[in-house]
Amino acid sequence: MSENNMEIGLLELTEKRTIIHPTSINEIKFGSAGDLEVRVQGCPWWLDDAASAETQTISFLFSEITHSILYFEDFNPDYDEALEDFEINSSSNLAWAQSESIAIHCSTPLTDALGLFAVVQDYLSAEKALFDARYFLNFVSSDELSVFKKITETRSYMLARAPKLLSGLICEELDRQGVKYGKSPTLLDKVGIYHVRFGETQFFCNRAVAHIST
């Protein structure tokens, strides 16, 4: 970090400051270690006197990126509300991203596999989650709903592994369908400390900081 830059945690910064437009992303760089730098230019909302200050630049740096959907193909440096859909949150506050989970095993067939799939997918869509239903339901490494349906037509199968809130929704649907099931504790892969979203791009990472010129 340059002597003329101050570093601050990005989550801390966005909790203290409200983003003000115009803001545009003028550079996106991927490092050799898998890190990401996003350079933002515009109204310096990160400063105390943002309203009276001239246009300035701030850099967001993300490292140790884990699960991700990276979609910067439509990046437009002339768009001056580039942070309109930017969010950063602690992963611990996201119910769908927790590692401590419940495994659900069924001993009777589902009567409506598509209905259960819809319950899970609708919840994740409403939460704008990085994962879709296939991540939690037993698709046996397949993307095809027909494979999941075939599994749930048997009399003994692992249906899902999901965090507490989502597993509760699944069990409610199983009760509605009259399916017999059992539950046991399990662990899903841990995600990064932070969840970051730039529009359609989202990812988890273990380090997220801002470099501010001083």
Is residue 206 classed exposed, middle or buried when 0-12, 13-18 and 19+ CB atoms within 10 A define those classes? Answer: middle
pLDDT of residue 214: 65
Average pLDDT across the chain, whole number: 92
- % of the chain exceeding 70 in pLDDT: 95
Q: Are residues 109 and 179 in the same domain?
A: yes
pLDDT of residue 141: 78
Band of the pLDDT at 182, cuts 50, 70, 90?
Answer: very high
Distance CA 5, CA 87 (A): 23
What are 136-159's pLDDT values in tens digits?
999 987 788 999 999 999 999 999
Q: Are residues 105 and 85 in the same domain?
A: no
Q: Are residues 69 and 137 in the same domain?
A: no
pLDDT of residue 33: 78
Q: Are residues 45 and 115 in the same domain?
A: no
Domain assignment of residue 202, given as a range: 5-91+192-213
Average pLDDT over residues 178-191: 97
Structurally, the chain folds into a number of domains equal to: 2
pLDDT greater than 90 at residue 82: no
Provide CB contacts within 8 A for 15, sequence distance 6+.
none
Distance CA 49, CA 59 (A): 19
pLDDT greater than 70 at residue 3: no
**Which residues, in sequence order, are bridge partners of residue 1?**
none
Q: Are residues 208 and 131 in the same domain?
A: no
Q: Are residues 50 and 69 in the same domain?
A: yes
Q: Are residues 183 and 109 in the same domain?
A: yes
Q: Are residues 112 and 63 in the same domain?
A: no
Q: Are residues 108 and 78 in the same domain?
A: no
Among residues 75, 76, 14, the alpha carbon closest in space to that of 45 is found at 14
pLDDT of residue 51: 65
Q: Are residues 24 and 86 in the same domain?
A: yes
Q: Are residues 76 and 37 in the same domain?
A: yes
Q: Are residues 129 and 206 in the same domain?
A: no
pLDDT greater than 90 at residue 180: yes
